Amino acid sequence: MPVLPADGQVYDIAIPVLIIGAGASGLVAALAAKDAGIDPVVLERDLVPRGSTALSSGMIPACKTRIQQEKGIADSIETMVDDIMRKSCGQADSKIVEAMCRASGPAIDWLTQTHGVELTLVEGFLYPGHSQLRMHAPISRAGVDLMRGLSAAAENASIDIMTGAHVIDLFADGAGHIKGVRIERPDGATELIGCKALVLACNGFGGNADMVRQYIPEMEGALYFGHPGNQGDAILWGQALGAGVQHLGSYQGHGSVSHPHGILISWALMMEGGFQLNSEGQRFSNEHDGYSEQAQRVLKQSGDVAWNIFDDRLRELVAGFKDYEQAEAHGAVVKAQCIAKLAQLIGVSEERLADTFDEIAQFASGRRQDKFGRDFTSNPTLQAPYYAVKVTGSLFHTQGGLVINSDACVLDADGDALPNLFASGGAACGVSGPQDWGYLSGNGLLSAVSFGRIAGKSAAGLVLSSMGVVTVTG
């Protein structure tokens, strides 16, 4: 993925704003550039744009949205900033967090009202670390429907998405000014496309086993649940251009992927009263710390697996999630009328399992404190019949990446902006601090959507100003 000298290079066509990657970040950036008056082109390596966005649950956190206001939810930028900073133990860049949260509400309103992307507020439970209901998602809670909505919006806006266009090289002059890219077609043919501004929206390096081994050794060999085309190209190009990179050891893990079916089981089960057991029938952690750090905790259990335990009340909560429906359809969920039967189905000692249930009843009544620190008092204890799903820990996406400023400009190692390079979504450094424990639910799509819009606007603004057009930001 080299950056080559631009001297004397002639391009087949010239485009004002090129965007690499047609996931949420790239499509949102394209919509923003188009609204600003520039015709962007999105380059996507796959024949059908999907990205990790299509694999996700499509939950986008945002504050002060019209949808929240209609539901009477009193959220604020400050509250959302505090939630993100608390989860990252103060190690996220507070200026970027503030910019992201400030942009989040207007971005959701703009997507829903101007571009007709259908999103609803996720109600009924709070994700760990969020102090308000602020997840906005397609009604199916499926990223594939978010991609469908964004792709339709791009089509309605007459945005060109060039698929089967794998960007393999960038061309830059001595000052780091990007002049164009080389794409490779599925038949091996190559084309050269010139540009005035480039947005890197091609996510992180979760699909690159060598980079995972280098930067996240604890997840080497773990199930990667994101899009395999995310090979770290943005980071490799950025490094070649002298860009700053940060928090490459940071990632979103997940401790609840059904095994061996490979289907995400919503963490709402854990937040509302469910719990995880290892193959000895014992809890091993505070499930309310967050699902990201739970990946490693599950991987440390015997056989790299755990059991999610829940009941009818909780099953109803997730029954409308496409993922959960699939898990049941594939036989990943087992049901037992009593603890003895549950013990038999999940292969643990009946006595040990009964002890664990008894212990949790004591935590719920306030008679004893959980040694892992979880508060069980706010949810009812589980009632028969019981359900269980065997799960493993997985790597969802990387959170480290290119250092950007609040206009989504990529910065060099000294903190100065590169001339015409922008990044958003998983290509940019996220707001989760240096490791897995700093990931607050939704930090992935938050960056893709909030900063995707900022990157598209900034890239368009740069091109317009080079043409002498004055733009008004906001």
Does 44 bind ligand FAD (CB under 6 A)? Our answer is yes
- Among 40, 58, 290, 400, which residue sits at the site for ligand FAD (rule: CB under 6 A)? 58
**Binding of ligand FAD at residue 225 (CB under 6 A)?**
yes
Q: List the one residue from 15, 53, 274, 393 that touches ligand FAD (CB under 6 A).
A: 53
C-alpha torsion sign, points 262, 327, 436, 103: positive
Sole binder of ligand FAD in the list 55, 172, 360, 388 (CB under 6 A): 55
Q: Does 56 bind ligand FAD (CB under 6 A)?
A: yes
Give bridge partners of residue 199 from the DSSP assignment. 19, 422
Query: Under the criterion CB under 6 A, does residue 233 sit at the interface with ligand FAD?
Result: yes
Query: Binding of ligand FAD at residue 145 (CB under 6 A)?
Result: no
Which residues are registered as beta bridge partners of 120? 137
Contact 160, 31 (CB under 8 A): no
Q: State yes or no: residue 75 binds ligand FAD (CB under 6 A).
A: no
Where does this chain touch ligand FAD (CB under 6 A) — which range of 186-194, 226-234, 288-296, 346-354? 226-234
Which residues inside 336-395 make contact with ligand FAD, applying CB under 6 A?
A: none
Is 92 one of the binding residues for ligand FAD (CB under 6 A)? no
Residue in 47, 3, 2, 50 with CA at minimum distance from that of residue 26 = 50
In whole angstroms, how close is the CB of 369 to ligand FAD at the nearest point?
Answer: 32
Could you say which of 18, 38, 59, 410 contacts ligand FAD (CB under 6 A)?
59
Site residue total, ligand FAD (CB under 6 A): 44
Pick the closer one to ligand FAD by CB: 159 or 382.
159
Can you point out the beta strands (E) in 21-81? 40-43, 60-61
Question: Counting contacts by CB under 6 A, is residue 101 touching ligand FAD?
Answer: no
d(CA 309, CA 281) in angstroms, rounded, equals 11
CA angle 431, 298, 349 (to 5 degrees): 155
Helix segments in 366-470, DSSP class H:
443-446, 452-466
Taking residues 160 to 179 in sequence order and writing x for each that binds ligand FAD by CB under 6 A, - otherwise, the string is ------xx------------
Using CB under 6 A as the binding rule, whether residue 444 contacts ligand FAD is answered as yes
Q: How far is the CB of 14 from ligand FAD (least distance, A)?
A: 19
* C-alpha torsion angle, residues 357, 359, 363, 369 (rounded to 10): -150
Closest among 213, 300, 317 to 255, alpha carbons compared: 300
230 touching ligand FAD, by CB under 6 A: yes
Instruction: Compute the distance between CA of residue 3 and CA of residue 375 in angstroms, rounded to an integer.
Output: 52
- Taking the alpha carbons at both ends of the chain, their separation in whole angstroms is 35
Q: Is 193 in the site for ligand FAD (CB under 6 A)?
A: no
CB neighbour list of residue 72: distance below 8 Å, 6 or more residues apart: none
User: Omega of the bond prior to 5 within 30 degrees of 0, cis?
Assistant: no
CA distance 113 to 118: 9
Which one of 229, 244, 290, 456 is in contact with ligand FAD (CB under 6 A)? 229
CB of 204 to ligand FAD, least distance (A): 8
Residue with tokens 């009202």: 113
Rounded Cα–Cα distance for residues 53 and 335 (Å) = 32
Per CB under 6 A, the segment of 7-15, 51-59, 94-102, 121-129 that binds ligand FAD is 51-59
When asked if residue 442 is in the footprint of ligand FAD (CB under 6 A), the reply is: yes
Nearer to ligand FAD among residue 56 and residue 308 (C-beta): 56
Provide the residue count of the chain. Answer: 474
- Select from 178, 448, 459, 463 the one that contacts ligand FAD (CB under 6 A): 448
310 lines the binding site for ligand FAD (CB under 6 A)? no
Q: Which one among 15, 17, 21, 451 touches ligand FAD, defined by CB under 6 A?
A: 21
Measured from each CB, the residue nearest to ligand FAD is: 23
400, 430 contact by CB (below 8 A): yes
Give the C-alpha separation, 441 to 431, whole Å: 11
Q: Which 272-291 residues touch ligand FAD, going by CB under 6 A?
A: none
- Burial class of residue 333 in the structure, from the number of CB atoms within 10 Å of its CB (0-12 exposed, 13-18 middle, 19+ buried): buried
- Residue ranges that bind ligand FAD, judged by CB under 6 A: 20-26, 43-46, 49-53, 55-59, 166-167, 201-203, 225-227, 229-231, 233, 252, 264, 396-397, 425-426, 442, 444-446, 448
